[in-house]
């Protein structure tokens, strides 16, 4: 009957909406929402032009992505960019305390006393720093910087690995200088679980991070924040792995 046909059509139409909706949700969640970028030396961590300096626009061509945190113009290494506001907040906001790991080339002899000071926290002009995880590095295999480092003649140099959870202005440089080890070169190697491994300067790759929608809406407070932190630590999909070279 016509009524039966209409009912069948409505059921089938509704079913198609549900199926399509589920497919679209799955498809959307599998789209990359994070870019890992190895920022070269003397590149601004922004897209907009400024004083003729090289910016992210030279390297990142995917539209809609913005930096989740910054990296100084004269520093190198890992930057994270995302097209989702909640994820950007989760990565960059100090409340979430994602550890950031750096390799630091310093001028002078690296002594145990200096490392111990860094582990205990250092007094800077804007207050005491939180304790850092730090160790001396016997040898370092890393790309050469352009232009190269030019230490003062007769001065020893060394490398340390330092991990902090704060993000003050030029904090790592100020910390090592405060213990008598001026910074010659600074490379961010890791943020949380994301590493620069496999990326040459100027290269990037894409990742997908799945955050539950309800948790995303409440990511900044309460017990839900703890849940999202747990998921955020490990729920990274590596299947979307696309390296971009510029």
Which amino acids are annotated catalytic?
Answer: 72
Token pair 């930096």 is found at: 67
Spatial contact of 108 and 180, defined as CB atoms under 8 Å apart: yes
Q: How many CB atoms lie within 10 A of CB 193?
A: 13
Query: Distance between CA atoms of 123 and 120, rounded to whole angstroms?
Result: 10
Question: Residue 7 contacts by C-beta under 8 Å, 6 or more apart in sequence?
Answer: none
Burial of 227 (0-12, 13-18, 19+ CB in 10 A): middle
Half-sphere CA count of 137, side-chain side, radius 13 A: 17
């Amino acid at each position: 009957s016509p009524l039966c046909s209409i009912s069948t059509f409505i059921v089938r139409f509704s079913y198609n909406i549900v199926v399509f909706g589920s497919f679209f949700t799955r498809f959307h969640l599998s789209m990359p929402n994070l870019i890992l970028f190895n920022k070269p030396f003397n590149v601004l961590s922004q897209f907009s032009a400024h004083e003729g300096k090289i910016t992210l626009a030279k390297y990142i061509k995917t539209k809609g992505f913005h930096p989740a945190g910054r990296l100084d113009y004269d520093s190198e290494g890992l930057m994270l960019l995302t097209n989702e506001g909640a994820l950007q907040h989760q990565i960059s906001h100090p409340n979430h305390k994602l550890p950031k790991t750096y390799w630091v080339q310093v001028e002078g002899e690296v002594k145990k006393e200096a490392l111990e000071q860094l582990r205990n926290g250092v007094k800077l002009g804007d207050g005491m720093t939180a304790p850092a995880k730090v160790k001396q590095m016997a040898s370092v295999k890393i790309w050469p910087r352009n232009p190269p480092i030019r230490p003062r003649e007769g001065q020893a140099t060394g490398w340390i690995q330092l991990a902090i959870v704060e993000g003050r202005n030029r904090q790592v440089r100020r910390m090592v200088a405060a213990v008598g080890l001026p910074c010659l070169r600074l490379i961010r190697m890791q943020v949380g679980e994301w590493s620069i491994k496999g990326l040459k300067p100027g290269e990037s790759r894409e990742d997908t991070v799945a955050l539950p929608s309800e948790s995303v809406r409440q990511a900044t407070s309460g017990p839900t924040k703890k849940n999202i932190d747990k998921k955020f630590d490990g729920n990274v999909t590596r299947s979307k792995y696309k390296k971009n070279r510029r």
